[in-house]
Amino acid sequence: MIAEAIQKIKSELPEGVQLVAVSKFHPVEALAEAYAAGQRIFGESHVQELTAKCPLLPADIEWHFIGHLQTNKVKPLVAHVSLIHAIDSDHLLHEVSKQALRAGLRVDCLLQLHVAQEETKFGFTPGEAIEYVESGVWRQLEGVRLAGVMCMASNTDDVRQIRSEFRLAAQTHRQLRDAIAASAADDEAACAFRHLSMGMSHDWHIAVEEGATLVRIGTTIFGERQY
C-alpha cells in the first residue's frame, strides 16, 4: 500500500517537484517500506523522533525537519537534517547557524510564511519576511543558507481560500528572491533561494498548481497517524 501510494503521487508530480514523505508517528518499518519503494526524503516534526529513527535506516536518506522547532532542540538536530522547513524567527535562524558552525556544517533553511487565516500558525507575514530578507542580517549567518519558504494553508475545505493562500506564498517567494538578487547583485544567494514547500495530503494538488517545489505528504502514504 505504501509503495503504491508513493508511486501514484510521484506519477502525478510534475518534473522538478519533490516528495517529502511525512513519516512522523509512523514506525521505522513503514519508513523502510517507503525506502524500498524508492523514497529518499522523509519529513519529521519532532527532534527526538527524528534522531531516534535516523540511525535505524539507510544513510542516504535526506531528513527534513518540518515541525515547529524550539531553540533548545536545535543542537541535537543539526547533524541529522538536510533541510529545516519552518524557521519562524531571526532568533531561531541564529541558533541554527551557531549550532551548525559548531558541528562544521551549513544547513539549508526555509522561512515559514504565515498566510493562513488561523491565528495559531507560526511564521513571518509576507511583509515581515520581506523586511527581514531586505535587512540582510541573515547574510552574516555562515552556518545556514536560506533555501526558500514554506507555508501551511488554512485547514478548510474552501478550495478558493486554500488557493489564494498558496498563491500569496508563491508571490512572496518571488518577491523575496528578487529582493535577494537586487541587493549586492547576489545571484548565488538568489539561486539558493529556490524552494517553495507547500501542500499536504488534502491540498497538495492545489499547491503544485500554484508552484510548489516540495510537497509534504503523510496520511496519503502511511495512513492515519497513531498518536
For position 215 contacting ligand PLP by CB under 6 A, the verdict is: no
Q: Considering only 72-80, 113-121, 136-144, 214-222, which stretch makes contact with ligand PLP by CB under 6 A?
A: 214-222
Residue 77 CB-half CA count within 13 A: 33
Q: Tell me which stretch binds ligand PLP (CB under 6 A): 98-106, 122-130, 138-146, 210-218.
A: 210-218
Output DSSP code: residue 120: T
Residues 14, 61: Cα–Cα separation, whole Å: 22
- Among 28, 54, 201, 211, the residue binding ligand PLP under the rule CB under 6 A is 201
Interhelix angle for 159-182 vs 126-135, to 10°? 10
- 149 belongs to the binding site for ligand PLP (CB under 6 A): no
Exactly one of 48, 117, 125, 219 binds ligand PLP (CB under 6 A); that residue is 219
State yes or no: residue 18 binds ligand PLP (CB under 6 A).
Answer: no
CA-closest candidate to residue 176, choices 87, 96, 78: 87
Contact 86, 122 (CB under 8 A): yes
Which amino acid is present at 117?
Answer: Q
Among 31-39, 48-56, 95-103, 211-219, which window interacts with ligand PLP (CB under 6 A)? 211-219
- Specify the residue for cell string 548565488: 188
Eight-state DSSP code of residue 17: P
Q: Is position 147 an interface residue for ligand PLP (rule: CB under 6 A)? A: no
Tell me how far apart the alpha carbons of residues 62 and 194 are, in angstroms, rounded to a whole number: 17
User: Of 217, 200, 199, 221, whose CA–CA distance to 208 is shortest?
Assistant: 199
Binding mask 58-77 for ligand PLP (x = CB under 6 A): --------xx----------
Contact call for residue 22 and ligand PLP (CB under 6 A): yes
Separation between Cα atoms, residue 25 and residue 51, nearest integer Å: 13
Stretch that binds ligand PLP, among 50-58, 72-80, 162-170, 213-221 (CB under 6 A): 213-221
Residue nearest to ligand PLP (CB): 218
Q: What minimum distance in Å lies between the beta carbon of 56 and ligand PLP?
A: 20
Residues that bind ligand PLP (CB under 6 A): 22, 24, 45, 66-67, 152, 200-201, 216-219
